[in-house]
Amino acid sequence: MSAIEDAIRRRRSIRGLTGPALAPAEVEELVTLALTAPAPHHTQPWRFAEISSPRRDALATAMGDAWRADLDADGVPPAQRDRALARSHRRVIEAPTLLLGCIVADGLNHYADDRRARAEWGLAQHSFGAALQNILLAAASRGLGAYWISAPLYAPQAVRTALDLDATWEPQALVCLGHPTEDYVPFDRPSPDLGRHFVRR
Ligand SMILES: Cc1cc2nc3c(=O)[nH]c(=O)nc-3n(C[C@H](O)[C@H](O)[C@H](O)COP(=O)(O)O)c2cc1C
């Protein structure tokens, strides 16, 4: 079995993370791997930021405020809302290393019609997923733990403001990275099922 296939099979979302934070050089190695992802029209539509501890509270609070408004509009009971918000805040604060991934529209085609404009943005999002998967696989192959947090996608302006990011950066996801805690057990995950997910025509 090749090393890459081994990493694909072994990768799981590891939410039990402990320090120390990754060394700056290791973060740069992982981001460099992300920057080799396939992308539409020979573009490089991704941007990444490593979020230092002093910026975390502002980030988590801004995303939390936006999420609280959504949860209230959905009529979620306050106790349930506050538990979810506190857990989310904790995850951002406590991640040993925290990366934010964004998309930019550099080099994408511009279309007047909504159908093609959405498809074009979809191309960038596909590429972003490939870039993030590079990070997750590389982390798994190094024995690190990592998982994806999609909250920034729901509160892009709050994230840009909290982190003082360029207006052209469209926040997509956070990646928490660190060392797996000994007791963390990944969620159950169904085995790959070709019968359900694959057809030949
Ligand atoms: C687009 C996307 C968004 C996700 N958002 C979150 C998230 O916000 N919080 C979280 O804990 N996991 C998140 N995950 C991780 C998934 O829950 C996880 O990949 C899935 O349950 C399969 O488990 P595995 O990664 O261990 O194979 C996300 C994954 C993807 C691809």
Q: Output the tens digit of pLDDT for each of the chain's 201 residues.
A: 699 999 999 999 999 999 999 999 999 999 999 999 999 999 999 999 999 999 999 999 999 999 999 999 999 999 999 999 999 999 999 999 999 999 999 999 999 999 999 999 999 999 999 999 999 999 999 999 999 999 999 999 999 999 999 999 999 999 999 999 999 999 999 999 999 999 999
In a domain, 196, yes or no: no
Domain coverage including residue 134 = 3-8+16-180
In a domain, 199, yes or no: no
Tokens of 102: 């964004």
The pair phi, psi for residue 172, each rounded to 5°, is: -120, -45
Any domain includes 83: yes
Look up the CATH number of the domain holding residue 26.
Answer: 3.40.109.10
Spacing, Cα 132 to ligand 1 middle (Å): 12
Predicted TM-score (pTM) of the model is 0.97
In a domain, 188, yes or no: no
Residue 186 lies in a domain: no
The amino acid at residue 144 is L
**Pairing of the two strands 97-103 and 46-50:** antiparallel
CA distance 46 to 57: 24
- Within-domain flag for 198: no
**Number of domains observed in the structure of the chain:** 1
Ligand 1 centre from 201 Cα, in Å?
30
191: Cβ below 6 Å to ligand 1?
no
Cα 166 to Cα 152: distance, rounded to the nearest angstrom:
15
